[in-house]
Amino acid sequence: MITIKEATSKSDLKAFVTFPFSLYKDHKYWVPPLIKDELETLDRSKNPVFKNADAWYYLAYKNDKIVGRIAVILNHLEINEQQKKKIRFGWLDMVDDIEVTKALLEKAYQKGREHNLEYAEGPVGFSNMEKAGILTMGYEEMNTMITWYHHPYYASHLEQLGYEKQATWVEYTLKIPETIFEKVAKFSKIVRERYKLSVIRFKDKKEILPYVDEMFGLLNKTYNTLQTFVPIQQYQIDYYKKKYFSFIHPDYICCIKDETGKLIAFSIVMPSFSKALKKANGKLFPIGWNYILQAQKKNDTAAFYLIGIDPEYQGKGVTAIIFEEMQYLFNSKGIHTVETNPELKENTAVQLLWKDYNPVQHKERSTFRKSI
């Protein structure tokens, strides 16, 4: 018999967060999240997203053993301002038992009906700045720190339960040449001179801080036409700044300004932390931080996390400047491979950016939708 229990106590939430550690124990490709970060994300008193969201966390038990989990989420901005009658679900993990999956998802339907919503979609986080999508391709690849890993049966369960794919994201690996493409360097020079643009270089993290709000502002402008987009609120910007700032190295940030000093484009790349996080196994202390620091200092792989371009400059070749700067960085750091972050499949404009770097699609993930 399957029993569903709401996780409300601290011990319940700890069990909720750590369940995947037993489900994926010794799994070669699963990269664990940081337990402390996960607990803070789900904590109503610490995560400011609850100013515009509600969430319920559930654990599935069978024979007194935890066999699954799910978070059911209401994003009030999405529901009230964007008029999307959607109940979100995320943090979905379970053993290979479709009855467990069915019982967990029933909790999403119940909450959705209580709030007069029309459909359920997931897995997603509280907003579009968080992890999303069930892995449907790339089971023999490690996930990055901003994506989930899933067994193949996850998608199969949802399809059997009548779900259809909604949004689909693709990910690529890129090969970095030892010398910069001549046409990139040439085009970068032309674009800089034509639009009087210059690159902002940072010596330390403190110099980055004044530009963070502008970066998120550019993200809102860059992606507001995509189907999954929910505008990023200031309190979320402050929260993400605090959450991820320790992982950012100033060398890996490229900002471009116009002649007035206005930020018109940026990109954030990080050394790959997948192997380091796997070694840390959910904890930064006592030695987890050492793995992260080593990954920052010596790494042959990087991950392209964010890129934002003011709509006024989109299609004008600004990416040539970004790629030129990144090329010099990668060559100086000994980085040979770059992994893109998930990109919506229909966002062909972004995918065209990588065409000269021998892109190979190695992962794909989707959210799934069902009327309730």
pLDDT at 227: 57
One-letter amino acid at 27 equals H
* Same structural domain, 196 and 96: no
pLDDT at 74: 96
| Residue 74 placed within a domain | yes
* Same structural domain, 20 and 133: yes
Peptide bond before residue 48 is cis, with ω within 30 degrees of 0: no
Which CATH number fits the domain that encloses residue 255? 3.40.630.30
Could you give the residue ranges of the DSSP H alpha helices within 262-309?
Answer: 274-280, 288-297
Residue 225 clears pLDDT 70, i.e. is over it: no
Q: What percent of the chain has pLDDT over 90?
A: 71
* Same structural domain, 164 and 254: no
Residue 117's domain spans which residues?
2-169
Please list, in sequence order, all residues whose beta carbon lies within 8 angstroms of the beta carbon of residue 317, skipping any fewer than 6 positions away.
Answer: 187, 188, 190, 191
pLDDT at 129: 76
Task: For residues 136 and 151, give the distance between their C-alpha atoms in angstroms, rounded to a whole number.
Answer: 9
> Pick from 60, 59, 113, 125: which is nearest to 88 by CA?
125
Residue 69 clears pLDDT 60, i.e. is over it: yes
Mean pLDDT for 249-253 is: 89
Mean pLDDT for 47-76 is: 96
Say which residue the tokens 């038990």 belong to. Answer: 61
310-354 pLDDT tens trace: 989 988 999 899 999 999 999 999 999 999 989 889 878 778 778
Going by pLDDT thresholds of 50, 70 and 90, the confidence category of residue 16 is very high
Going by pLDDT thresholds of 50, 70 and 90, the confidence category of residue 246 is low
pLDDT at 226: 56
pLDDT at 273: 95
170-186 pLDDT tens trace: 999 999 998 888 888 99
Task: For residues 30 and 22, give the distance between their C-alpha atoms in angstroms, rounded to a whole number.
Answer: 11
- DSSP state, residue 171: E
pLDDT at 127: 81
Mean pLDDT for 293-322 is: 90
Residue 27 clears pLDDT 60, i.e. is over it: yes
84-106 pLDDT tens trace: 999 999 999 999 999 999 999 99
| Residue 307 placed within a domain | yes
| Residue 41 placed within a domain | yes
Count of domains in the chain? 2
* Same structural domain, 182 and 164: no
Mean pLDDT for 103-132 is: 94
pLDDT at 3: 97
Check: CB of residue 111 under 8 Å from CB of residue 213: no
pLDDT at 249: 85
* Same structural domain, 285 and 194: yes
Task: For residues 249 and 281, give the distance between their C-alpha atoms in angstroms, rounded to a whole number.
Answer: 22
* Same structural domain, 219 and 289: yes
* Domain termination residue (choose one: 150, 169, 188): 169
Please list, in sequence order, all residues whose beta carbon lies within 8 angstroms of the beta carbon of residue 282, skipping any fewer than 6 positions away.
Answer: 18, 21, 32, 33, 34, 35
Please list, in sequence order, all residues whose beta carbon lies within 8 angstroms of the beta carbon of residue 210, skipping any fewer than 6 positions away.
Answer: none
Going by pLDDT thresholds of 50, 70 and 90, the confidence category of residue 206 is confident
Please list, in sequence order, all residues whose beta carbon lies within 8 angstroms of the beta carbon of residue 255, skipping any fewer than 6 positions away.
Answer: 199, 200, 202, 211, 215, 263, 265, 266
* Same structural domain, 202 and 155: no
pLDDT at 229: 64
| Residue 361 placed within a domain | no
Secondary structure class of 232 (helix, strand, coil) = coil
pLDDT at 10: 95
pLDDT at 237: 77
138-149 pLDDT tens trace: 999 999 999 999
